[in-house]
Amino acid sequence: CKDKQTFSSIPDNDNSETKEVENQAVGSVDSHANQVSLDDIPTLAFPSISTSDFQFNHEKAADIIVEKVAEFSNKFRNARLVLVDLSHKSKILSLVKAKIAGKNIDAQKFFTHVGDITHLYSRGGLRCNVIANAANWRLNPGGGGVNAAIFNAAGPELESATKEKVQSLSPGNAAVVPLPSSSPLFTREGVTHVIHVVGPNMNPQRPNCLNNDYNKGCKILQDAYTSLFEGFASIVR
């Protein structure tokens, strides 16, 4: 099985995903093969919020990801959460995988994946109908990192859909934006929604820097993931 979804003994899912598995409690049943199509399972792919440009401490961020995934993943009867990063050398993916081992989290409902979040299906065979964006408070396409990648890949459709929905977002909050079906991310990757999330900023070169105040920072990052996962739950429902 190429659907590598465990944390310690099996490396990240880095290429194509097995599209069908034996019938489980998730997904829709194919009446002919009596199998479940993984493509049909609502899936949120999310990057590690704040840990690159916003310079948030990776150990603390990993603790919060694990805490929030543990809180939410088993609440989803029929949905998956996937933490994504670009490289096999990703420190945050390694930390999360180490910290999650031994926790009571269903490996079908949460796993990690190495790849570009804008090409999860076309290059990795992983269907994710929802992707999260580590956004800036203005919800501008610019900057770098995953924000620029998602706005570039989605085309002007995402910018206009975002502006229709919300003008700005304060740290710790998320906004769900339905993606117009003309967007290349929709047609090529099957992404129907983007959830913008603004995390805490520890980078003095960026707005709203918390000056190393990790009491505030951790609270804001927890709120950001809560808001992200609740936003995803509102789509799945």
The pair of three-digit structure tokens given for residue 232, joined into one six-digit string: 């995803």
Of the candidate residues 10, 40, 67, 86, the single one contacting ligand AR6 (CB under 6 A): 86
Pair 61, 48: CB distance under 8 Å: yes
Of the candidate residues 53, 112, 169, 223, the single one contacting ligand AR6 (CB under 6 A): 53
Please, is 234 exposed, middle or buried when counting C-beta atoms within 10 Å of its C-beta (0-12, 13-18, 19+)?
A: exposed
Q: Of 32-40, 94-102, 111-119, 156-164, which segment contacts ligand AR6 by CB under 6 A?
A: 111-119
Q: Is 117 in the site for ligand AR6 (CB under 6 A)?
A: yes
Of the candidate residues 5, 13, 43, 51, the single one contacting ligand AR6 (CB under 6 A): 51
Q: Is 112 in the site for ligand AR6 (CB under 6 A)?
A: no
Q: Of 9-17, 104-112, 129-137, 175-183, which segment contacts ligand AR6 by CB under 6 A?
A: 129-137
Question: What are the helix (H) ranges across 73-213?
Answer: 91-100, 120-124, 145-154, 156-165, 184-189
Q: What is the 3-state secondary structure (H, E, C) of 91-117?
A: HHHHHHHHHHCCCCCCCCCEEEEECCC
Q: Is 49 in the site for ligand AR6 (CB under 6 A)?
A: yes
DSSP state of 38: G
Q: Please give the residue ranges that form the binding site for ligand AR6 (CB under 6 A).
A: 47-54, 84-86, 92, 116-118, 134-136, 143-147, 149, 199, 206
